[in-house]
Amino acid sequence: MPKDGISDPQGQTIERALPSLGFADVHDVRVGKRIELVVEAPDPGTAEAVVRAACVRFLANPVIEDFLIHISGPEVG
């Protein structure tokens, strides 16, 4: 997701179109990307650490983007 203060032309275009489609109460639209990964790890904490490292080092541009990690799936014990 673009960081606050970073121009988001896609979000602005969508926000301008929404009122004409009956969504007048929607504002502050931001458009980002979603990346899904399957990580084999012994526990959710390790999986999160692996994904966070991948985001910081490669998947996200920390200068202009924020990222959110959501871990789901079966827990390995």
Each domain of the chain, given as residue ranges in start order, spans 1-32, 34-77
pLDDT at 75: 61
Q: What is the pLDDT of residues 13-58, one digit of tens each?
A: 999 999 999 999 999 999 999 999 999 999 999 999 999 999 999 9
d(CA 14, CA 27): 10
- Whole-model pTM: value is 0.75
pLDDT at 74: 74
